[in-house]
Amino acid sequence: MDGCFATPRFPRMLAAIFNLNGHAGYVHVWVIYLSVPNLIVIVLMLVLFLGALFAPFPNSQHRRRS
């Protein structure tokens, strides 16, 4: 039973919805050898960084009016 905590009493009770125990894809450019899951995390971090740059502050409209 891969990717889950299971006992005879609670079979697959806490199984993962997405099983990531399979093989990952890899991107190989020059000496850089990057797994696709790592690439996704790095892209998400960049998106988060850009979001932090461009997203307006909470209540910015209210603050501007006041």
Partner 1 sequence: MSYSTYKQRNRELNDAARTWRGGYQPYDLVKEATIALGVVALIAVVLAILFSSPDEHPSSIRSWSRGQPVDFVTTAVSELDGSSGTAGYGPPYNHAQIGQHIAFIHLQQWFGVAHPINTAQDYVIGPLSQIPGQPALQAAVATYTHASASQQAKWTTAYSNALAHADVEPQPTKTKPETEPAGASDVVVMPPGNYGPVTTMMNALLLYAQAGGLDGALLRSGQFYSTDYTKILMFLADGGLLASRAQAEHLLGTQWGMMNETGSFPGQSWLWLYTFWYQIKPFSTSANADILVVAVMGVLSVLFVLVPFLPGVRDLPRKIRVYRLIWREHYASGS
Q: What are the residues binding partner 1 (CB under 8 A)?
A: 2-4, 14-24, 26, 31-38, 40-42, 52-54, 56-57, 60, 63-64
- What's the CA dihedral at 30, 35, 38, 42 to 10 degrees? 30
Length of the chain: 66
Cβ at position 37, least distance to partner 1 in Å: 4
Q: Which residue's CB is nearer to partner 1, number 34 or number 47?
A: 34
Please state the φ and ψ torsions of residue 19, each to the nearest 5 degrees. -85, 115
Question: Toward partner 1, which CB reaches closer, 9 or 33?
Answer: 33
